[in-house]
Amino acid sequence: MKPTVFDLYHPGVALAYFAAVLVFCMAAFQPVYLGLALVSGFAYSAYLRGWRAAARSATWQLPLLLIVAVANPLFSASGSTELFRIGLRAVYLESLAFGLCMGVMLVSVVLWFSNASHVLSTDKVMALFGNMAPVVAVMLSFAARLVPQYVRRGAEIEAVQQATSAARPRSAKEKGAFRLRQVSVLMGWSMEDSLETADAMRARGWGAAPRRTAYRRFRFRARDAAALAVLALLAGTNAFLAWTACGQFSFYPTMSRLALWWGYAPYVVLVFLPLVLQIVEDVRWRA
């Protein structure tokens, strides 16, 4: 896993940061805030995973965004600026903009959850929750592992099927059967792996002691407290500014106009902070 600037701090700092950003992604439903969350999430994902991996993820994230954006005006015909009609149903600009923002919010949350899973590795999750909530810690660590594991195994299964000339799909019906067979093999592999994991945990004495130890210890130091204080200040400032911005903006019945405002600057600092700090750290090491 690629080292990040969060490795210099206690895992609680990373947990608090991503929790704050995710809350803003879901609560600050305003176009500028949503756009900043999306751009910063994609940029940090590109740094953590590489531009190619981020671009591959965008091939399904952007269609998801467009589907949500298009679906909203079809099911919620609200607004005052009519764009066109599909039969008897009118499509309004306000409803389309609302759906677009919903799609941006959904993709932003997915991106930031993905970034958090890359930064908060299994050992950090176990160090944070291993004694307070061991079952929750194991569930979180397993959930963070499942998505990349499923993607990797799915690619392996597809490569094996493509290598067999007789299994290559040629028609639409064969392509559907090809995908169903791929999913079937993947689910069978995952269920077999879950049984082996459960047996291994039982053999290693999972749950035999009231408290567990961690193979990597993290000490909470003064710089961690200072980082949390700065984060709390940024989060508190942005909470007030986001509440003000969201209160002044509305989609219906007529969408409000967006203007330049200094209040967006603290949010830019918050969402781009780890990427900027990482770039500074990389420049220091290369100098």
CA dihedral 257, 259, 263, 265 (to 10 degrees): 130
Is residue 165 predicted with pLDDT exceeding 90?
Answer: no
17-36 pLDDT, tens digit each: 999 999 999 999 999 999 99
Residue 241: the pLDDT is 93
29-70 pLDDT, tens digit each: 999 999 999 999 999 999 888 888 888 888 888 888 888 888
* DSSP-assigned letter for residue 165: G
**Taken in order 237, 243, 249, 251, is the CA torsion positive or negative?**
positive
CA dihedral 49, 50, 52, 55 (to 10 degrees): 60
Contact 120, 144 (CB under 8 A): yes
Averaged pLDDT for residues 104-111: 92
- Tell me which residue has tokens 């077999």: 192
Q: How far apart are CA 109 and CA 38, in angstroms?
A: 8
Averaged pLDDT for residues 209-228: 77
Q: Cα-flanking dihedrals φ and ψ of residue 88, to 5°?
A: -95, -5
Strand partners, 246: none
* DSSP character string of 9-56: S-HHHHHHHHHHHHHHHHH--SHHHHHHHHHHHHHHHHHHH-HHHHHH
Confidence of residue 167 (pLDDT cuts 50, 70, 90): low
- Tell me which residue has tokens 């305003």: 30
Is residue 214 predicted with pLDDT exceeding 70?
Answer: no
Q: How far apart are CA 271 and CA 251, in angstroms?
A: 24
- End-to-end CA distance of the chain: give it in Å, rounded: 23
**Taken in order 98, 99, 100, 102, is the CA torsion positive or negative?**
positive
Q: How far apart are CA 250 and CA 226, in angstroms?
A: 37
Is residue 169 predicted with pLDDT exceeding 70?
Answer: no
Contact 34, 108 (CB under 8 A): yes
More confidently predicted of 83 and 283:
283
